[in-house]
């Protein structure tokens, strides 16, 4: 039971008790009636003062109780607001971190695309160089086989260069060193070494 219900029951019980005392007893004679009226007035005055006192106490208690409840709700709402603020800060932090990671991924993807483009360019250039070297090899092969006898001196120079390249390579010189020494391209030296060493 709530305190208010208890107080109201007490008030009701006291009213019933007082009213039973004030009820006129039928065995009494009519000449005592003026005393009964004064007694009723006294009882009603004391009953009204008691009820006013109980009502004022109840109002005080209820206002105190409502203030306590309001304070408790206020504290609880402050705690909830603090949790909401913390959660909001965490969400903002995570969002900023995700945005940063997204930017990093975009930069990495851009670098990968640039690397891929450069690799394709290098492969295309390498293929062009290989095609050029193949044409040179065919030219050299035809000169060595005697298919093109435009100039005997030229073919002898090419044979000498081939022999010289192979000798230097067998002595342990690198392709770069041979090309520098003879003043010819590295691709040509590599091609001759690959063709004639087999």
The C-alpha atoms of residue 151 and residue 162 are separated, in whole angstroms, by 17
**Confidence at residue 198, expressed as pLDDT on a 0 to 100 scale:** 58
**Confidence at residue 25, expressed as pLDDT on a 0 to 100 scale:** 52
Question: Tens-digit pLDDT profile for the chain (198 aa)?
Answer: 677 788 888 888 888 887 777 775 544 444 445 566 787 888 888 888 888 888 888 889 989 989 999 999 999 999 999 999 999 999 999 999 999 999 999 999 999 999 989 988 888 888 887 777 777 766 665 555 544 444 444 444 455 577 888 888 889 888 889 888 888 888 888 888 888 765
Contact between 187 and 129 under an 8 Å Cβ cutoff? The reply is yes
Give the contacts of 41 (CB within 8 A, at least 6 positions apart): none
Radius of gyration of the chain, Cα coordinates, nearest whole angstrom: 58
**Confidence at residue 134, expressed as pLDDT on a 0 to 100 scale:** 72
């Amino acid at each position: 039971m709530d305190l208010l219900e208890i107080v109201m029951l007490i008030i009701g019980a006291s009213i019933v008790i007082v009213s039973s005392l004030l009820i006129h007893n039928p065995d009494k004679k009519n000449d005592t009636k003026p005393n009964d009226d004064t007694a009723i007035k006294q009882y009603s005055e004391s009953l009204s003062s008691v009820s006013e006192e109980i009502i004022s106490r109840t109002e005080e208690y209820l206002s105190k109780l409502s203030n306590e409840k309001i304070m408790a709700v206020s504290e609880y709402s402050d705690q909830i607001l603090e949790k909401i603020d913390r959660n909001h800060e965490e969400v903002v932090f995570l969002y900023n971190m995700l945005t940063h990671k997204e930017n990093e991924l975009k930069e990495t993807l851009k670098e990968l695309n640039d690397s891929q483009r450069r690799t394709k360019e290098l492969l295309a250039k390498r293929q062009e160089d290989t095609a050029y070297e193949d044409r040179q090899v065919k030219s050299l092969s035809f000169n060595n086989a005697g298919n093109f006898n435009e100039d005997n001196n030229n073919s002898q120079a090419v044979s000498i260069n081939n022999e010289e390249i192979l000798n230097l390579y067998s002595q342990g010189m690198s392709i770069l060193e041979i090309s520098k020494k003879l003043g010819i391209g590295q691709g040509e030296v590599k091609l001759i070494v690959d063709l004639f060493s087999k």
